[in-house]
Amino acid sequence: MCPSKATDGSQRGWIIPIGGAEDRETRRRILKRFVRLCGGRDAHIVIIPTASRLADTGQKYQELFERLEAGSSSSVDFATREDCERDDYLRILESADGIFFTGGNQLRISTILGGTSAAKLIRKKNAHGVPVAGTSAGASVLSEHMIAFGKEGSSPRAGSVRLAPGLGLTNRFIIDQHFRQRDRLGRLVAALAYNPFAIGIGLDEDTAAFIGPDNTLEVEGSGALTVVDASNLQFSSMADVSQSQPVCLLGLTVHLLVAGATYNLHTRQASPGTLLTTKE
């Protein structure tokens, strides 16, 4: 799956994976920035709570975006694949100035939306400039390669991760969330051992990657973002070990970024960004 292409001189919209447990009560920096990118008081934000099994998830985010002074919001719960072909749901999605996926189970999103008219429309909207954000499970599903589930732990093992197709807004990275809180370094590195082309992005809770049309990522939030780059991988034992054995990987590059730091997904160069100019 390749990302939808921007046409007629338009720029791709922002892609904003959030590590889960984002601040919704105090400073709310991540969500406020998302609302601004969508157009602020002129924005219509469409919430997709498909990942969640809680009936009130969409309503809670609608109320939250109202408090953040978004122009309007709608919740569209694609509960079945048939829902993803409904004309009334697709019309709401077509009107979106921003799209937000809630947390829950990422496989519910991929198995319900994958390959449907709704998924195609989301990809098209993002390709033509509409920001798409997702928190927790909603973050994992944004990329082409998605971590479906896996085991916690800092050591990569062949059986510690299972991958599935995501929505495919980009093929440049693989996301893992609740990263430090749930000790998920091992499964992210294992995912990269299966696919060294992609860049691993591990997002702590209340931490987001704001990825612009130029493929530059900027960190926002109170935690850290871990970048794992396997482009210079020299050796991998992934093909030779059993499911329970640790994997030997040589040549990985790791960056730890905090709010204001940047990473270019094209050049694979990290920068402290605004941290250089921040005064104590």
pLDDT at 1 > cutoff 80 = no
152 falls within a domain: yes
Q: Are 203 and 133 in contact (CB under 8 A)?
A: no
Catalytic residues: 136, 178, 205
238 falls within a domain: yes
278 falls within a domain: no
Q: What is the CATH number of the domain that holds 167?
A: 3.40.50.880
pLDDT in the model for residue 185: 97
pLDDT at 253 > cutoff 80 = yes
Residue numbers of the domain that contains 172: 15-265
1 falls within a domain: no
pLDDT in the model for residue 179: 98
Q: Name the burial class of residue 234, with classes exposed (0-12), middle (13-18) and buried (19+) by CB atoms within 10 angstroms of its CB.
A: exposed
246 falls within a domain: yes
Mean pLDDT of the chain: 95
pLDDT in the model for residue 278: 54
pLDDT digits (tens, 9 = 90+) for 13-62: 999 999 999 999 999 999 999 999 999 999 999 999 999 999 999 999 99
8 falls within a domain: no
pLDDT in the model for residue 280: 44
Instruction: Tell me the whole-structure pTM to 2 decimals.
Output: 0.96
Q: Are 143 and 132 in contact (CB under 8 A)?
A: no
pLDDT digits (tens, 9 = 90+) for 83-103: 999 999 999 999 999 999 999
Amino acid sitting at position 239: A
pLDDT in the model for residue 147: 97
pLDDT band at 109, cuts 50/70/90? very high
pLDDT at 146 > cutoff 60 = yes
Q: Where are the beta strands (DSSP E) in the chain?
A: 15-18, 44-48, 72-75, 98-101, 132-135, 145-150, 161-165, 173-176, 199-203, 207-211, 216-221, 225-229, 235-236, 249-250, 253-257, 262-264, 269-271
pLDDT in the model for residue 40: 98
Higher model confidence: residue 280 or residue 69?
Answer: 69
pLDDT band at 157, cuts 50/70/90? very high
Report which of 194, 142, 96, 148 is spatially closest to residue 1, judged by C-alpha positions.
Answer: 142
User: How many domains does the structure of the chain reveal?
Assistant: 1
Helices (H) and strands (E) in the chain, counts: 7, 17
Other C-beta atoms closer than 10 Å to the C-beta of 239 total 9
242 falls within a domain: yes
pLDDT at 79 > cutoff 50 = yes
Report which of 199, 258, 184 is spatially closest to residue 224, judged by C-alpha positions.
Answer: 258
pLDDT in the model for residue 10: 79
Q: Are 213 and 172 in contact (CB under 8 A)?
A: no
114 falls within a domain: yes
pLDDT at 2 > cutoff 70 = no
pLDDT digits (tens, 9 = 90+) for 168-188: 999 999 999 999 999 999 999
pLDDT in the model for residue 5: 66
Helix (H, G, I), strand (E, B) or coil at 273: helix
Average pLDDT over residues 199-217: 98
